[in-house]
Chain A
């Protein structure tokens, strides 16, 4: 375990379903991130939360909705997804303002949209 825990590890959902991905970190970090990783493509940054405030949203479709209730927890709420949204979704955490040090990833959630 890296100190960043993601659940579930695998998720299969229909295009009309609503589901949520969860991320929890036990490293004392105060910045958290969501990434999408598709096959043979670089990681795509989706959302950044620093000190529980969203500081970046990289033109992500509204069918992805993040939530950060506190500095240790991060959620990604999913609804009416498309098959092309199938990917590995990674959560990461770091110290706010210092992502170059101690940037830690979770193990990811493998999402399949059918």
Chain B
């Protein structure tokens, strides 16, 4: 079982709508959690990075939350645009060896 589980696997929304992507992890001891955006055929690009003491971080229309007690994170996208269509990957790192664990991603499609 992967140590980072993302849901849903895929999501289709209309342009202008909001959406929330989920990430649950079992990686321990926790160091940091990152959300990446990956456009089709491109490499992942970092959106946010959060450490244990942070529970919210925003990057434009993207807002990530972290609950280190329940080991859950979410990525909220506000007023979606067609360019938000991409895969969103959650990556969790452990303290002791900086080992990075990747989720399988959520494929988001924004339709006009």
Chain A contacts to B: CB under 8 angstroms? 2, 4, 6, 40-43, 45, 88, 90, 92, 97-101, 103-108, 110
Contact = CB atoms under 8 A, between A and B. Distances in A.
Contacts of A101: 49
The secondary structure that dominates the B interface is strand
Interface residues of B, number: 23
Contacts of A108: 41-43
Interface in B92-112: 93, 98, 100-105
A74 B31 CA distance: 27
Interface of B: 2, 4, 9, 31-32, 34, 36, 41-46, 49, 89, 93, 98, 100-105
A106 B98 contact: no
B100 A2 contact: no
A98 B98 contact: yes
8 contacts: A6-B43, A40-B104, A45-B100, A90-B43, A99-B100, A100-B49, A100-B100, A107-B41
Given A40-B104, A42-B104, A100 B93 contact: yes
Among A41, A43, A104, A110, the most chain B Cβ lie within 10 Å of the Cβ of A43
Nearest to B31: A100
